[in-house]
Amino acid sequence: MLSVILKRVLQLVPTVFFVSVIIFSLQHLLPGDPALIMAGEDKDPAVIAQIRAQYHLDQPLPLQYLYWIKGVLHGDLGESMRLKAPVLELVATKLPVTLQLACMAMLIALTLGVSFGVLCAVYKGRLLDSIVNVVGLVGISTPNFWLGIMLIFLFSVHLGWLPASGYVSPFEDLGQSLKTTIMPAFVLGNAIAGVLMRHTRGAMLQALASDYVRTARAKGLYEHVVVIKHAMRNALTPVITLGALEFGTLLSGAVLTEQIFTIPGFGKLIVDAVFNRDYAVVQGVVLVTATTYILLNLLADLGYILVNPRLRDE
């Protein structure tokens, strides 16, 4: 088993290397010269030349890559050209924000998606099923930015219950933190809830029609025990897998939602960095996100190996 685990871990090295090359190359494929953007409005040639030299932009691309990857291997993701701050520090301050938002959004999505999915399956073909299906479809197809602005108008401008934008850390003031993140979390969770609801419904219908459920009913178990204990447990496996995938996407930063609610997370950081051609920041954030993805995948693989003995001798 140890050799299998070791093999999986070793496979990480070429994957991360490949990812780093892709991140670097794609970033440099973007049109627009970072030195020209960084030089400010006046675009003095001496200043431009100085920026190019300082950030090795005057060197051939492979050499620029080597400079970057050398830093990365030493735990230095570079410095933001625009903010003159270490990228690692920026990542460290943004990650908890994005993590909080992602967790809250996921909680909302799971609560709404799973409970309504189960209800729809149990009441299949009834009025409740139709209504929830339509609402779910609306949820999936509502654009985030529109929903966000509508919520702001209702809860901030009209009712005055919630702040329209901004972010407060839960360690600073928990109540205020929930107030600032509930709307963006709902916007993000809403779309995922629709998807989860549909998957739960499908999986539950399949489970409810299976033999073991029929057996459970034949044994005279209460219907809620059949649904919750027997059908739902099995039906939730694919839903959890899907939820985990969606969670991974949330971790890379919710660009539009963060922009609308001015949440200083990964999404906003990366948008500002792309528009300002702040190469080090874009590369650093994408590398961290990609590596997190890869590590989560590895953990899942290792989890499978632990759970399923058949995979141990692979």
Q: Which is nearer to another protein, 51 or 204 (CB)?
A: 51
Q: Which of 269, 280, 286, 287 binds another protein (CB under 8 A)?
A: 269
Q: Which is nearer to another protein, 47 or 294 (CB)?
A: 47
User: Which one of the spans 17-25, 158-166, 242-250, 304-312 is the region binding another protein (CB under 8 A)?
Assistant: 158-166
For residue 17, the minimal CB distance to another protein (Å) is 29
Q: Which of 1, 85, 134, 240 binds another protein (CB under 8 A)?
A: 85
Q: Residue 129, exposed/middle/buried by CB under 10 A (0-12, 13-18, 19+)?
A: middle
Single out the residue of 141, 142, 164, 139 nearest to residue 151, CA to CA: 164
Under the criterion CB under 8 A, does residue 143 sit at the interface with another protein? no
Tokens standing for 306?
């632990």
Distance from C-alpha of 275 to C-alpha of 282, rounded to nearest angstrom: 10
Secondary structure of residue 299 in the 3-state scheme: helix
For residue 141, the minimal CB distance to another protein (Å) is 21
For residue 143, the minimal CB distance to another protein (Å) is 14
- The residue assigned the tokens 């897998």 is 241
For residue 292, the minimal CB distance to another protein (Å) is 20
Q: Which of 1, 7, 9, 32 binds another protein (CB under 8 A)?
A: 32
Under the criterion CB under 8 A, does residue 268 sit at the interface with another protein? yes
For residue 62, the minimal CB distance to another protein (Å) is 22
- Give 23's contacts (C-beta < 8 A, 6+ positions apart): 282, 283, 286, 287, 290
Q: Which is nearer to another protein, 51 or 114 (CB)?
A: 51
Contact 81, 278 (CB under 8 A): yes
Buried b / exposed e along 28-39 (16+ C-beta atoms within 10 A): eeeeeebbebbb
- The residue assigned the tokens 């609560």 is 111
DSSP 80: -
User: Which one of the spans 86-94, 127-135, 195-203, 245-253 is the region binding another protein (CB under 8 A)?
Assistant: 86-94
Q: Which of residues 53-72 bind another protein (CB under 8 A)?
A: 54
Contact 152, 164 (CB under 8 A): yes
Contact 244, 192 (CB under 8 A): no
Contact 257, 263 (CB under 8 A): yes
Q: Which of 262, 291, 292, 297 binds another protein (CB under 8 A)?
A: 262
Single out the residue of 147, 142, 117, 144 nearest to residue 132, CA to CA: 117
Q: Which of residues 102-131 bind another protein (CB under 8 A)?
A: none
Under the criterion CB under 8 A, does residue 74 sit at the interface with another protein? no
Under the criterion CB under 8 A, does residue 90 sit at the interface with another protein? yes
Q: Which residues of this chain interact with another protein, rule CB under 8 A?
A: 30-33, 36-48, 50-51, 54, 82-85, 90, 93-94, 149, 152-153, 156-157, 160, 163-167, 259-262, 264, 268-269, 272, 275-277
